[in-house]
Chain A
Amino acid sequence: MKRAANGLAAITVALLCLAPFAWQIFSSFQTELGRPSLRNYVAAFQGRPFGQIILNSLVVAAATAACCIAIGASAAFAIAKLEFKGGRALLGASLACSMFPPIATVSPLFLLLRRFGLQDELAGLILPYTTFALPLTIWVLTSFFREIPDELYSAAQVDGCTPFRAFRQIFLPLAGPGIATTAIMVFIFAWNEFIYALTFISSPEKRTIPVAISLFATGQKEPWHEIFAASTIVSVPLLIVTILFQRRIVSGLTAGAVKG
Chain B
Amino acid sequence: MKMSPAASERYQPYALVAPTVAVLLSVAAYPVLATLWLSLHRLIIVFHDRRFVGLANYASLFGDGRFWSSLGNTCYFAGAAVPAELVLGLLLALLLDSAIRGRSALRAVVLLPWAAPTVISAKIWMYLFNPQSGPIGATVLHGVDWLGTPPYAMWAAILLDIWKTTPFVALLLLAGLQAIPTSVPEAAQVDGASTWRMLWQIKLPLIRRSIVVALLFRTLDAFRVFDSIYVLTQGGPANTTETLSIYTYKTLMKAGDFGYGSTLAVATFLSIVSISLLYLVALRSRIAERA
Binding site for B on A (CB under 8 A): 2-3, 6-7, 9-10, 13-14, 16-18, 20-21, 23-24, 70-72, 74-75, 77-79, 81-84, 86-87, 90, 93-105, 107-109, 112, 127-128, 130-132, 134, 136, 138-140, 143-144, 146-147, 150, 153-154, 157, 162-164, 167, 177-178, 180-181, 184-185, 188, 191-192, 194, 209-210, 213-214, 224, 227-228, 231, 234-235, 238-239, 242-243, 246-247, 249-255, 258
Contact = CB atoms under 8 A, between A and B. Distances in A.
Contacts of B117: 192, 194, 209-210, 213, 231, 234
Given A78-B13, A100-B35, A128 B27 contact: yes
B32 A105 contact: yes
B180 interface: yes
Nearest to B114: A188
A194 to B, nearest CB: 7
B18 to A, nearest CB: 8
B88 to A, nearest CB: 9
Contacts of B268: 99-101
A156 to B, nearest CB: 9
Contacts of A2: 195
24 contacts: A6-B100, A13-B110, A20-B124, A21-B116, A24-B120, A71-B19, A84-B17, A87-B13, A87-B17, A95-B276, A97-B32, A100-B32, A101-B224, A103-B249, A143-B213, A150-B3, A163-B16, A178-B175, A194-B117, A231-B116, A231-B120, A235-B115, A249-B174, A252-B178
Given A13-B92, A72-B20, A75-B19, A100 B31 contact: yes
Contacts of A254: 181-182
A95 B217 CA distance: 9
B127 interface: yes
Interface in B188-233: 195, 209-210, 212-213, 216-217, 220, 223-224, 226-227
Contacts of B171: 181, 184-185, 249
B131 to A, nearest CB: 17
A74 B101 CA distance: 36
B23 A250 contact: no
A150 B4 CA distance: 12
Given A7-B101, A20-B128, A150-B1, A188 B115 contact: yes
A34 B2 CA distance: 64
B218 to A, nearest CB: 11
Contact of B17 (A20, A78, A97, A127): A78
Interface in B132-186: 163, 167-168, 171-172, 174-176, 178-183
A172 to B, nearest CB: 12
Given A104-B252, A147-B176, 7 more contacts: A17-B110, A84-B13, A86-B17, A93-B24, A101-B245, A105-B35, A184-B171
A31 to B, nearest CB: 17
